[in-house]
């Protein structure tokens, strides 16, 4: 669809839902006018229209928390955009990663907890926090302090445990538990090296695209 086919409301605006491209995490909802849409597509950085200030603004222009656009989709009625981005820093002015960090009370009384599409993404953040400020008694902080050799050996041990559980005919639950341990310690290794999980996901995406192209 071409941008000219978008449906703007009476105020010349269209809703834009901003999503982390790799994890599916919903970061924020804002409004765009025609100019904001054009600038977003032209620059690869999100631009929005402030209804309160009645002015165009670029995400991160003062905070540095820029959103790098990966793709922009439009819904079936052409009146809402889905903007997939890579978020630098946090999306919310409160300092939270996502604007959706407050949960309405449900039948079990739960009211808090951020919305996240990926447990791996949440673990990556926790590991980063443990590295920046190691709390006493933290297992992750202990691994990080041990250095890359200690972490790498732990990844190897967990990989062996996965193979053992599978080949020994242990139940599915045991395999799940061992794979969870392997993924967790692999994330610690990435965190130690300061390699973003995003890099691994992008590599998987490149391989998937290449193989699909070859199969076609």
For residue 24 the two structure tokens come to 């599916």
What is the domain range of residue 41? 3-87
Question: How would residue 106 be classed by pLDDT, with cut points 50, 70 and 90?
Answer: low
Going by C-alpha positions, the residue among 75, 77, 57, 74 that lies closest to residue 65 is 57
The answer to whether position 163 is within a domain reads: yes
Query: Measured between alpha carbons, how far is residue 87 from residues 36, 66, 120, 171 in Å?
Result: 18, 6, 16, 40
137-162 CB burial, b ≥16 within 10 A, e <16: eeebbebbeeeeeebeebbeebbebb
Q: Are residues 18 and 62 located together in one domain of the fold?
A: yes
- Strand pairing category for 14-20 and 80-87: parallel
Residue where one domain finishes, among candidates 39, 69, 87: 87
Residue where one domain finishes, among candidates 31, 66, 87: 87
According to DSSP, the residues that pair with 55 across neighbouring strands are: 50
Q: What pLDDT was estimated at residue 211?
A: 65
Instruction: Quote the pTM value.
Output: 0.63
CATH label of the domain that carries residue 16: 3.10.20.810
Q: Are residues 83 and 8 located together in one domain of the fold?
A: yes
The answer to whether position 104 is within a domain reads: no
Q: Are residues 151 and 191 located together in one domain of the fold?
A: yes
Query: How many C-beta atoms lie closer than 10 Å to residue 191's C-beta?
Result: 24
Q: Are residues 83 and 167 located together in one domain of the fold?
A: no
Question: How would residue 23 be classed by pLDDT, with cut points 50, 70 and 90?
Answer: confident
- Strand pairing category for 67-74 and 80-87: antiparallel
């Amino acid at each position: 669809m071409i941008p000219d086919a978008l449906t703007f409301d009476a105020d010349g605006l269209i809703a834009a839902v901003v999503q982390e491209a790799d994890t599916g995490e919903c970061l924020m909802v804002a409004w765009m006018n025609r100019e904001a849409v054009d600038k977003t597509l032209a620059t690869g950085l999100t631009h929005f229209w402030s209804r309160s200030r009645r002015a165009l603004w670029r995400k991160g222009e003062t905070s540095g928390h820029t959103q790098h656009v990966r793709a922009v989709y439009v819904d079936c009625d052409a009146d809402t955009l889905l903007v997939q981005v890579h978020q630098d820093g946090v999306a919310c002015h409160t300092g939270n990663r996502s604007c959706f960090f407050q949960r309405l009370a449900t039948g079990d009384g739960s009211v808090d907890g951020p919305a996240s599409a990926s447990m791996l993404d949440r673990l990556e953040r926790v590991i980063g926090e443990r590295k920046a400020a190691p709390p006493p008694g933290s297992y992750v902080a202990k691994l990080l302090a041990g250095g890359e050799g200690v972490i790498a050996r732990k990844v190897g041990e967990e990989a062996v445990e996965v193979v053992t559980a599978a080949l020994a005919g242990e139940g599915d639950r045991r395999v799940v538990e061992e794979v969870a341990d392997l993924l967790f310690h692999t994330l610690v290794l990435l965190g130690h090296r300061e390699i973003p999980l995003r890099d691994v996901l992008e590599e998987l995406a490149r391989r998937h695209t290449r193989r699909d192209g070859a199969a076609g």
